[in-house]
Amino acid sequence: MNSGKLDVIVIGSGPGGEGAAMQAAKAGKSVIVVERYNQVGGGCTHWGTIPSKSLRHAIQELTDFKQHPLYRQAARATRVTLPEMLQSAASVIARQVDMRQGFYERNRVEVIQGHARFVDDHSIEIELPSGRSDRLEAEHFIIATGSRPYRPKEVDFSHPAIFDADTILRLDRTPQSLLIYGAGVIGCEYASMFRNLGIKVSLVNTRDTLLTHLDEEIVDALAYHLRDQGVLIRNREECDQVVPLDQHAVELQLRSGKKLRGDALLWAIGRTGNTDDMGLSSLGLEPDSRGNLAVNESYQTGVPHIYAVGDVAGPPALASTAYDQGRLAGQHLVHGKCDHALGHFMPTGIYTSPEISSVGRTERELTEAQIPYEVGHSQFKWLARAQITGRTVGMLKLLFHRETLAVLGIHCFGNQAAEIIHIGQAIIAQGEASNTIEYFANTTFNYPTMAEAYRVAALMGLNRVR
């Protein structure tokens, strides 16, 4: 362990911490990473993005197998349990950890396992697994400790039928029915996954509609598809009490008087930043009610040489943005400025089945801003590639200015949406002065591809204007 004063100490090895550590190390700074868990990667690798998306992929593969007309007879004889599905994620996690550990080793960044706590604004005490403590000093600190699922005190998460977004991935049985309280991104993703396994799903939403930050037409398509799959969606409901019935049964009592029963409950209401027990208050840094730290555009906290990135810096709290925030914080502490900022055209990726992705503005935002716009659609069922793969559910939607033809927003629902969106992202990010929907109309796309949806949508949109 380095005993002198370091240039940078990064607390947390998730996407934000890794991005910051690599940026600072490549600039020649002495860097140490402190990670509480016994492996690098953070919640993204071990409890969130990687395992949940690996599970989703395994479920989708099984679903495609069962629905393919050539394999129906074999599929009827195939029985795969949820625990078997979850095991498929283990190999992916192991490869991710090995790869990311290699990044630190190649860049000569030492990783110390332990819990970091600030002693003063230039030193931390690290509580090691052995029980002893060590102290390190540094010129700069980057807090990248991530977040965890929000757990209200009145819900007994020690009960074997009650789970949060982390513990649901340790299910040791296949429930016949599942209650999901919270219809945000995580709730909708798991509702879609578990329903595709044939599990009865009740999705309880505290708001009027699903995913209110998305384009309304896309939300309507998702809600229709979930209901068509058999998911029971209950909007405008609030939890009154969670009542465990036995080891494998739970009742969700709602303020409306409804009582829902299931073999398991997934509580998916919000997340809390991992900023507790870090000695931050002694530095004058007070996290908000959700454990987030206020930062400026360079990710500096109220103490300028202490940065915060990723989930602890608040929205958008995505793995993709966390890595870039870490890089930008690393640039700032090295050069006193960032080469660029996170743009306004960050894509969203929601891994329901089918998935959702968007970039730019929604119809609601454009209407409120009184911007004259037009819409171009491409239904996936019109595309040869979708017909070949059998994944015809979905659409691509282009929003563009009626007069300048500048692309203002792109919204996609369907197979490969999170990949398809990046084509549009590259164009829309050029700015309204230099991008128009005519690019998609006049560009040759490979045939058959899903990307061809851009040409179809653009031509339909231009026909409306002309």
Between CA 358 and CA 347 the distance in angstroms is 6
Per-residue pLDDT, 341: 73
Per-residue pLDDT, 1: 53
> H/E element holding 136?
strand 133-143
Q: How many Cβ atoms sit within 10 Å of the Cβ of residue 336? A: 8
Q: For residue 143, what are the contacts with CB-CB under 8 A and spacing of at least 6?
A: 11, 12, 275, 278, 293, 301, 306, 307, 308, 309, 312
Per-residue pLDDT, 344: 73
Mean pLDDT of 355-376: 96
pLDDT tops 70 at residue 77 = no
Domain boundaries, the chain: 6-148+272-335, 162-269, 348-465
- The tens digit of pLDDT for each residue in 392-424 reads 999 999 999 999 999 999 999 999 999 999 999
Token representation of residue 114: 């332990």
Between CA 216 and CA 212 the distance in angstroms is 8
> What is the biggest distance separating any 2 CA atoms in the chain, rounded to whole angstroms?
74
> Could you tell me which residues are beta bridge partners of residue 462?
none
**With the C-alpha atoms ordered 318, 30, 127, 35, is the resulting torsion angle positive or negative?**
positive
Domain 162-269 listed as CATH 3.50.50.60: yes
Residue type at position 176: Q
Residue type at position 84: E
Per-residue pLDDT, 37: 96
Question: Are the beta carbons of 27 and 330 closer than 8 angstroms?
Answer: yes
Of the chain, the percentage scoring pLDDT greater than 90 comes to 84
3-state secondary structure 221-288: HHHHHHHHHCCEEECCCCEEEEEEEECCEEEEEECCCCEEEECEEEECCCEEECCCCCCCHHHCCCCC
Between CA 188 and CA 97 the distance in angstroms is 27
Between CA 167 and CA 424 the distance in angstroms is 36
Between CA 196 and CA 58 the distance in angstroms is 11
Between CA 13 and CA 297 the distance in angstroms is 22
Per-residue pLDDT, 80: 78
Between CA 18 and CA 338 the distance in angstroms is 17
Between CA 417 and CA 454 the distance in angstroms is 12
- The tens digit of pLDDT for each residue in 26-60 reads 999 999 999 999 999 999 999 999 999 999 998 88
Give the architecture-level CATH label for domain 348-465. Answer: 2-Layer Sandwich (3.30)
- The tens digit of pLDDT for each residue in 245-277 reads 988 999 999 999 999 999 999 999 999 999 999
Do 162-269 and 6-148+272-335 have the same topology in CATH? yes
The CATH class given to the 6-148+272-335 domain equals: alpha beta
- The tens digit of pLDDT for each residue in 421-441 reads 999 999 998 877 778 999 999
pLDDT tops 90 at residue 345 = no
pTM over 0.85: yes
Taking alpha carbons only, the member of 251, 188, 261 closest to residue 225 is 188
Q: For residue 298, what are the contacts with CB-CB under 8 A and spacing of at least 6?
A: 307, 328, 329, 332, 337, 338
> H/E element holding 100?
helix 82-106
- The tens digit of pLDDT for each residue in 269-301 reads 999 999 999 999 999 999 999 999 999 999 999
